[in-house]
Amino acid sequence: MSSNSPKNLIGIVVAAFAVPVISIYLLVKLVSSVSTGSPNTADLAMSNEAVTARIQPVGISKASIPVAPGARSGEQVFTAICTTCHATGAAGAPKVGDNGAWAPRITKGFQTLIEHATKGFNAMPARGGSPDLTDDEVARAIAYMANKSGGSFTEPKAAAGGADKVDPAKGKEIYGSVCVACHGTGAAGAPKFGDKAAWAPRIGKGLDALVASATKGLNAMPPKGGYSGSDAEFRSAIEYMVNSSK
């Protein structure tokens, strides 16, 4: 049988089409199974835990593992959220790298910028439109952008570094001045301080999950319990309540 027989030629032509088509089909299947296929939250949670465990610095106790939401760097927040407007200058946003546009903003001071970016400022939406960003994450993103545009702000450290480690006594103090209003009595369905049964199912979620939900607010629990201090301090109040209720 010679290789240029018509039968063989048809075989070659079919193969020439079929091979790329099958490859593309397999590739699409692979990509879609990675991005959308079987969204298994248990697996996601597992991998989050696994990542947290791997990035955990040596010698840091389990209690001070960074909160997954809340520990993003300024660059990560910028890339995920702020870039939409601040990379291009859309809607009049000061563009990153444009020192002239940033100079009058930087002059307002870091605190004012943090306040404007968390509450919203004209066409600038509160937290860039991502309510799940913590105050520290917003501040880190501002420092990241401003520092690429002539500024020299200090990015608040992610809790992992231990640089903003909070004195455990601070947690007790915050509890006594803020959280006690509801958690002291169990008002509005708040898990009561020291009530092991009320706290057990919450503690079962893990400290990071508690910090995340309490930071955002949960039903009658206002965001951060109405506390206006840093995320690390707020976390220390939760640690204090949890440790006194298990």
Residue with Cβ nearer ligand HEC (33 or 243): 243
Element housing 197 (H / E)? helix 196-203
Question: 77: closest CA among 125, 144, 167?
Answer: 144
Question: Minimum distance from CB of 31 to ligand HEC (Å)?
Answer: 28
**Contacts to ligand HEC from residues 175-194, by CB under 6 A:** 178-179, 181-183, 188-191
226 binds ligand HEC (CB under 6 A): yes
Question: What are residue 124's DSSP bridge partners?
Answer: 121
232 binds ligand HEC (CB under 6 A): no
DSSP 3-state of 218: strand
Residue with Cβ nearer ligand HEC (5 or 185): 185
- Quick note: the x/- pattern for ligand HEC over 118-157, rule CB under 6 A, is ---xxxxx-xxx---x----x--xx---------------
Rg (CA), the chain: 26
State how far the Cα of 118 lies from the Cα of 131, in Å rounded to an integer.
9
Q: Are 20 and 13 in contact (CB under 8 A)?
A: no
| 71, 93, 158, 232: which one binds ligand HEC (CB under 6 A) | 93
State how far the Cα of 195 lies from the Cα of 128, in Å rounded to an integer.
39
State how far the Cα of 189 lies from the Cα of 181, in Å rounded to an integer.
12
Q: Are 176 and 183 in contact (CB under 8 A)?
A: no
Residue with Cβ nearer ligand HEC (169 or 220): 220
238 binds ligand HEC (CB under 6 A): yes
With the C-alpha atoms ordered 218, 72, 173, 244, is the resulting torsion angle positive or negative?
A: positive
110 binds ligand HEC (CB under 6 A): no
Other C-beta atoms closer than 10 Å to the C-beta of 223 total 13
**Contacts to ligand HEC from residues 26-65, by CB under 6 A:** none
State how far the Cα of 59 lies from the Cα of 147, in Å rounded to an integer.
31
92 binds ligand HEC (CB under 6 A): yes
222 binds ligand HEC (CB under 6 A): yes
| 65, 71, 117, 232: which one binds ligand HEC (CB under 6 A) | 117
List contacts with ligand HEC (CB under 6 A). Answer: 77, 81-82, 84-86, 90-94, 105, 108, 113, 116-117, 121-125, 127-129, 133, 138, 141-142, 174, 178-179, 181-183, 188-191, 202, 205, 210, 213-214, 218-222, 225-227, 234, 237-238
